Structure formats: structure tokens, C-alpha cells
Structure 1
Amino acid sequence: MDIAIVGAGIAGLSAALALRKQGFSPRVFERRRMPAAGGAGVTLWPNASFVLEQLGVLQDIQAVGGRPLAMRRYDAAGNALGGLDIELLDRTMGYPTVTVLRRDLQDVLLAHARRMGIAVEFGHQVMAIDLDAQGKAVARFETGTRICPEVLIGADGRMASVTRQFVAGDNTPRYQGFVNWIGVAQGSGALVDDVSIQDYWGTGQRFGAVAVRPDLVYWAAAQACPLNEGAGRADDRAQVEHRFAQWPEPVSRIIRATSEQAIRRIAVHDLEPLHTWSRANVLLIGDAAHAPLPTSGQGACQALEDAWHLARCLAGAGNEPTEAFEVFTRTRAPKTARLSEQGRGFARALFATDAETCRLRDARVSACDPARDVQVLAAGWAQGLPMAGGMLNTPLTEDGRDSVYRLRG
């Protein structure tokens, strides 16, 4: 079966690896002229590590990543608001949580793809997808190249996905009311006390710091604001330092240890869930299909789950890929839609600008039962996978949908 993948991000490369392990020979086309080096970091929760082990890359990712054992939550004055026992979560689900820089994750995936003989071609921007006389999709690249594979996998992201436009007729990302400044801090000594996730909540603001090592921390500083407020300004670090100057350490220390070039401002968007993920011989995966907010904690993790399920569906499809598309969509759509909605709900609470609302939010999370929260997360994140902590094809309880823990990933 001739399979082409548009996009060499986490979704595209992991899908290529999963398909290769099932005996397929996919080709990957990426619009960038070189491997992506942007972004900050990714928290790979145990459901992602399950997939990475299946792909044969987990050990290499652990070698460049960190192993957090706790997530600690604070208010903007430094008062503790509880947290998450990641070590217990990992034991419950049977796989480790790994924190890793996005560029290092991409490098590992790309190195394994090349080692397995997968063709990854950079500098191939898809300009349009049309149907030929037989009703098959033909992708036209900026280079003039045209391809008409039996299966075309769209993994070209959330903001300008040509494949999503072809499948759904719409690709309008929705701004969700807050911006993230993301960065990677590198210190000559320790920036934090241990390898953990530290999450600070304010009124309409948040600062999250994720350690890969004590001297290497990726972070996101978030602010509720109108879409165009502060856009186009070149002094991102000065903006962040000013907005978070009164927050407790290690916030200021981490910002100071980040070069101006390593900070990027992102107006955070997501996409409405789709009713269908395929058209003709084109199937969407990753952010092209479902683009949750970072507050879902599961963006990269769900892209990896897509890869694992897709390869299994196509391997069992024989010469009828469209049937595999239907099975894949039925399998993946409910879970990803639920996680996207959870991410939106958490963002609404997190970026509330009313002080009393935030006080009540903080009191609620402080009163949570940490052991129960681990069980709720494990059940939700393991759903649909043959791993401990969850029940296959069993919907979450109402408590699961309302869990306060919606962490970045």
C-alpha cells in the first residue's frame, strides 16, 4: 500500500514509525526546509510512553529527557495548592512520565525514521489537494511535485492545515483568550531543586516550569488578554519579566536564565472537533484532526496514540483503507473530543480574571484527594490502550470529566 504522510512533526514521524513496524513503507513530506527546532518542551505522560515503547524509541527519549516524580501547584504568592504524585501515577499506569525538549524528541523520532529507511523529504509545502477523475486525492506541492498515494495522512498541524481544509472544508482555529510565552532556560547551576513540574496560578495568569534536569527547564508564562494585545513587540523577555516580577522564586530565576532568542509568544488557539476525519483517501491525525489546548496536557500524547491506532487499523484493513479510516475515527474521536473539552474547561477556570472566582478555584483544588486524582487521570489517559490504570472502551465517570488536573503535554 502506497502511504504518504504530510507533516514531519510528532504525529507524522510517529505514524511513519508505527506504519513501518507493521510492514508498510510510508513516505513523509515536510514543508519546512529542515527539521523543526521551535517550541519548548513536552511532557510525555505514561500513555505516551506506552506508545513510544511500542515504537522502540522510549529508551532513547529517556536518555535525553527527565523523569519527574511530582507536580507541585502554588498560588501567585507561593502558597501550596496541592499537586500530583507522578511517581504513583507512573506505577498505576505501568509506564514512566518523561519531560523532554521538543527538539530532542523530534531528533529521536527522525533518527529512528531514517534508521528504518523511511523517506523524509523536507522543503515540500503542500499547496492544494484535489480529486482526480477516479475520486482519489492528488496533493500538489510548491516544488511542482504531484503525488496520488493510496493513503494520504494529514499531519500538518492546527494553524494552516491544507489536509484539514480538504477533509472538513474549514480550518478556522479559535483563539481561547490567552497567550503563552514559552522558553527554555539553561543555567550554569541548578535553576530548580529537583526534576519536577511546578505550576503557579494567579488571577488570569499562570507560570508553569518543567524540569528536564535541575539546570535545564522549559516553561510557559500565560496571560489572559485580547488577541492582539502585545502582538508584534520584540521585547518578549521584558514583557514576561514585568508581568511576573512579583511572583515567587524560581519564576524570576528561570526567566533570567532564558535568552531573548529562546522565548516565543503564542496566541493560543484550538479547533472545533470534527464529525469526520477523512475524505476519499485522506485521513487526518494529530493536531490536524484534534488540536487541544496545552491545558489538556495531552496534545503530543494523543498524536502518539493516533500513530499506534492508525497502524493497527491499516494493518487489518487489507486493500480497503477507507474501512480502516472509519474504524480509526470511531476509536479516536470520542477520547480526543473529551480531552479537548477538558482543556477548554480548565483554561476557563485557570484564566478567570475575577479574584473571588480564583480564590474559590484554589480552595477547591487544595481540598482534592491526591490518590483519587491519580486514579481519575490513569483511567482517562489509559482508555483505549492495553495498559494498566484504565478500562478499554469504558467511558469516564462524571468525576473523571471534572478532574482538576489538566496538565500540559
Structure 2
Amino acid sequence: MHNLNAIVVGAGMGGLTAGIALQQAGYTVELYDRVKQLRPAGAAISLWSNGVKVLNRLGLGKAVADIGGQMDRMAYYSSTGETLTEFSLQPLIQDVGQRPYPMARTDLQALLLNRFGAEHLRLDSTCVGIEQDEHSVTAIFEDGHRATGDVLIAADGTRSRLRSEVLGAPIERNYVGYVNWNGLVDAREDLAPKDSWVTYVGDHKRASIMPIGGDRFYFFFDVPLPKGTASQPDLYREELSQFFKGWASPVQLLIQRLDPQTTNRIEIHDIDPLPRLIRGRVALIGDAAHGTAPDLGQGGCQAMEDALVLTNYLQTTNISVEDALSRYQTARLDRVADIIKRARKRSDVTHGKNPETTKQWYANLKHEDGRDIMSAIAHTILSGPLN
């Protein structure tokens, strides 16, 4: 299918990756986003090897390595600082053929936007509807602008407006049961070794520190809480001090050093696996297609896989756009459903959905030499399209 005109709605990880992949396939791409200024959601992203491989394929390997953190080891500690398990990630890297790169979302977004070309992006454009026939598809925007092309990629995030256009009905997000605070701090050895991802666990909570580029750590805290608890940034430090009272010294130092004004506080939601990802010439990708809890660190990676798989089918099948999208759906539906279910299951184990199960997980960590953890991560990576 030569010289397709693609319309992409949403300039997050999925939309930008799709834009780059489609451009490289020789297609004309128009990219739209409803925001007035592009700001990433969340402080950082743990880009596991399957996501990195997609960016390698798009020629961004060196640039990604430059902004990524050097994560060579992984460790779990009890809330009081006792080592539960610690191991090198080298066997995982050998197994899957690529190291992971945790990185600041701002850095990744800038990298992708730069490669895509900011001049092809229109901001302050809210897509409110779609029309399509057998020849084309049109995105209709709030300001009256209409964009017509051969294919429309809906990458408009977890609160997607276009999802209901594909499904024929709106979908509710599910509260997974915990609140997550996340942000960035300077990397210092009194918090964690600069090459290690460390996580403190206890009382169904987590405090975690991960190295990213620019000599910084990405951190997050998880606390199971009822839905709808109110909070303001000026209270974050006091709240976290209460929730993590008596936890090990690095956790206390982290709470003191974080900047409440640049820390995000999110109630974690997911979306049940969808029955379909396409309708005619419209395809859902990224969080619009599969809102998942972050417990497998696969949200961004799956968006990137979507973008690549979709572009591959548009490039390699010449029956019709609809046929290519149908093949994309077949290739992705089970894969993303599996990630959503496993992330939710993982979240339940970590956050005390069944307290006995969580207690057992803590006990198991003491006997873990890294093999089981790495094997589970490798399974997730190797069941993707670039294995």
C-alpha cells in the first residue's frame, strides 16, 4: 500500500512511535494532540528490552542508550532494610539480547518528537468524532478542522475519547486499589547504588528507586488506599512520612529530598481487556487499547509494540487497509490482554489484596536468587513481536 496518508490522534509514547514508524515506511503522517503544551504523564518509564528493541529497529538505539539509566542489578529489602534478595540482571540481558533502559519521560518524549519532526504535530486539537467510508477516514476536531486520510490511529491515552467510537460504547476504568507517588531526585549513594533498582517492601506498600540518565533516580511509593482520597502536593511529604514511618533510612532520606511540586500522585487504574482494537480504518494503540496497571512496567513498551506491528501489517499486506488492521488486531489482542491480567494479578500480590498471599511473597523473596524474577520478565519480553 503505497503513499498512505495516516492520521494519528495522541502524541504520547504510542502516537509518536507510530508516527516515526509510519514515516519510515514512506507514509505521510499528521499527528494531533488535544493539549496546548506537550507534557508527559509521569516522571519516568522503565523501558524494558522489548520496548528498547522497537526503538532500536527505528534507528534510535544509540540515542535511547544515551538517555537511559545503567541498571545492572536488582534488589528487594524489607521495610526495615534487611536484604531479601539481590542479584545481577546480566543473565536477563543475555537471555533477551538487550539491556533495559529506565529513563525520564520528558527525555524520551523529546527524543521521539525530535525524530518525528515537531512541525508535523498540531497541538490544541481535540478530536471529537470520526467518519469513515470504504475509501477514507476523517477525524473531526472541536475547532471545526477535519483531517482525512487512509488510516486513523487512535493513541489518545487511558481516558481515550475515540475508544468508544471503536467499541460502540464507553468503557469504565477500574481502580486497582493503590495510590502511586512518583518523581525524580538526584542520584546519591546514600539512597541506593547508582546501578541498581532497589525496592523496599512491607505492610502491602512499596518504596522503589531506579537509576535513569542524567545522574538521577526515578522513585515511586505505593500505598493501598480507598478510591478518592484527596491530597495536595504540600502534604505529600507529611503523608509519606506517616505511611512509611519506621522504614529504613534511605526511604526516610528519599521522602525528605523529593520535591512535592514535581512529584506526581496517581490513583492507579486499569481497563478490562477489550473485545476489539479496530473498526474499519481506525485502530486503537497504547493506553487507549490496553490500560494496564504499571506493575509489569509494560505500558509504554506495549504501545511501542503496537506501533511497530501495525506499521508492519500496513507495509506488508496489500489487500486493503481494513485487512491490515484486522491482522494487527489478531496479532495484538491476546498479547495485550495477557499483560493487563498479569499486571493486575501482580498488583494484587504486591498490595495485599489477599494478605496471606502477600505475606507468602515476602517470605519467598528471601529464598529468591533472581532466577524466578528474571524468568518472568524474560517471558514477558520474549513473547513480544521482536523476540
User: TM-score with structure 2 length normalisation?
Assistant: 0.92
- 1:239-318 aligned within 5 A: 239-318=239-318
**Deviation of residue 356 (structure 1)?**
4.8
Letter in 2 for 1:102: R
CA distance 1:233–1:185, change in 2 (3 Å): closer
What SS does structure 2 have at the residue aligned with 1:148? strand
Corresponding residue of 1:124: 125
Q: What SS does the corresponding residue of 1:250 show, helix, strand or coil?
A: helix
Q: Which residue of structure 2 lines up, in the alignment, with residue 58 of structure 1?
A: 61
Which residue number corresponds to residue 85 of structure 2?
82
Is the 2:86–2:369 contact (alpha carbons within 8 Å) kept by the matching residues of 1? no
Q: How far is the alpha carbon of 1:371 from its aligned partner?
A: 2.8
Separation in 2, partners of 1:214, 1:195: 13
Q: Paired residue for 1:93?
A: 96
AA matched with 1:110: L
Note the 1:103-182 alignment, pairs <5 A: 103-114=106-117, 119-129=120-130, 131=131, 137-159=137-159, 161-168=160-167, 169-182=169-182
Q: Secondary structure at the match of 2:149?
A: coil
The 3 A distance-change label for structure 1 pair 329 and 84 is farther
Supply the AA of the counterpart residue of 1:242.
Q
Query: Deviation digits for residues 109-139 of structure 1, max 9, x if unmatched?
Result: 001111xx8711111111233x357696432
2:8 aligned partner, one-letter code: I
* CA gap 1:65/1:386 in 2 versus in 1, 3 angstroms: closer
Q: CA deviation at 1:271?
A: 0.6
Q: Which runs of 5+ in 2 are unaligned?
A: none
Q: Does 1:25 align with 2:31?
A: no
Offset of residue 63 of structure 1? 1.1
* Number of the residue aligned with 2:76: 73
Amino acid of the residue matched to residue 129 of structure 2?
A
Counterpart-to-counterpart distance in 2, 1:203 and 1:354: 12
Cα-to-partner distance string for 1:22-51 (whole Å, 9 max, x where unaligned): 111211101111221441111111111111
* Alpha-carbon distance in structure 1 between the residues aligned to 2:357 and 2:282: 45
The aligned residue for residue 332 of structure 1 is 332
Please say if residues 202 and 358 of structure 1, whose CA atoms lie closer than 8 Å, have aligned partners that are also in contact: no
CA distance, structure 2, for counterparts of residue 7 and residue 382 of structure 1 = 28
SS at match of 1:300: helix
Q: Deviations over 1:230-272 (max 9, x none)?
A: 3457522321232223211322222222212111210111111
SS in 1 for 2:162: helix
Post-superposition CA distance 1:349-368 (Å, at most 9, x none): 11116765433221123334
Q: Which residue of 1 aligns with 2:192?
A: 192
- 1-side partners of 2:194 and 2:365: how far apart? 23
**Distance in 2 (alpha carbons) for counterparts of 1:202 and 1:322:** 49
Q: Does the 8 A contact of 2:67 with 2:214 survive in 1?
A: no
The question of whether the paired residues in 1 share the 8 Å contact of 2:45 and 2:297 is answered with no
CA distance in 2: counterparts of 1:263 and 1:361, whole angstroms:
29
Q: 1:321 to 1:71 in 2, by over 3 A?
A: same
State the partner residue of 2:350. Answer: 350
CA pair 355-330 structure 1, distance change in 2 beyond 3 A: closer
User: Using a 3 Å threshold, how does the CA distance of structure 1 residues 355 and 222 change in structure 2: closer, same or farther?
Assistant: same
- The 3-state SS of whatever aligns with 2:175 is strand
Q: RMSD value over aligned CA atoms?
A: 2.2
Contact conserved, 2:66 with 2:213, CA < 8 A, in 1?
no
Please name the residue that 1:397 is paired with: none
Equivalents in 1 of 2:309, 2:355: separation in Å?
43
8 Å CA contact retained: 1:186, 1:258: no
SS of the residue 1:144 aligns to: coil
Query: Per the alignment, in what secondary structure is the counterpart of residue 249 of structure 2?
Result: coil
Secondary structure (helix, strand or coil) at the match of 1:27 reads: strand
Look up the SS of the partner of 2:11 in the other structure. coil
SS in structure 2 opposite 1:268?
strand
The answer to whether the Cα contact below 8 Å between 2:188 and 2:194 also exists between their aligned partners in 1 is no
1:277/1:329 contact within 8 Å kept: yes
SS in 2 for 1:68: coil
SS in 2 for 1:106: helix
Amino acid at match of 1:323: D
User: What 5-or-longer segments of structure 1 have no aligned partner?
Assistant: 388-409
Q: Secondary structure at the match of 2:339?
A: helix
Give the corresponding residue for 1:13.
16
- Between 182-191 and 237-246, report the one with greater CA deviation: 182-191
Contact 1:172 1:271 in 2 (8 A): yes
How many residues were matched structurally?
383
Distance in 2 of aligned mates of 1:260 and 1:141: 36
Post-superposition shift, 1:83? 4.6
Q: CA deviation at 1:211?
A: 1.5
Question: SS of the counterpart of 2:28?
Answer: coil
For residues 38 and 79 of structure 1, do their structure 2 counterparts lie closer, same or farther at Cα, with a shift above 3 Å needed? Answer: same
Deviation at 1:369, TM superposition (A): 4.8
Q: Distance in 1 between matches of 2:287 and 2:132?
A: 26
TM-score, length-scaled by structure 1: 0.87
Does the 8 Å CA contact 2:67/2:213 hold for their aligned counterparts? no
Asked if structure 1 preserves the Cα contact closer than 8 Å seen for 2:178 and 2:224, the reply is: yes
Letter of the structure 1 residue corresponding to residue 320 of structure 2: E
Distance 1:40 1:187 in 2: 15
Shift in Å at residue 201 of structure 1?
1.4
Note the C-alpha offset of 1:311: 1.0
Among all aligned residue pairs of Structure 1 and Structure 2, give the percentage whose two residues are the same amino acid.
Answer: 28
C-alpha spacing 1:351/1:327, structure 2 compared with 1 (3 Å): same
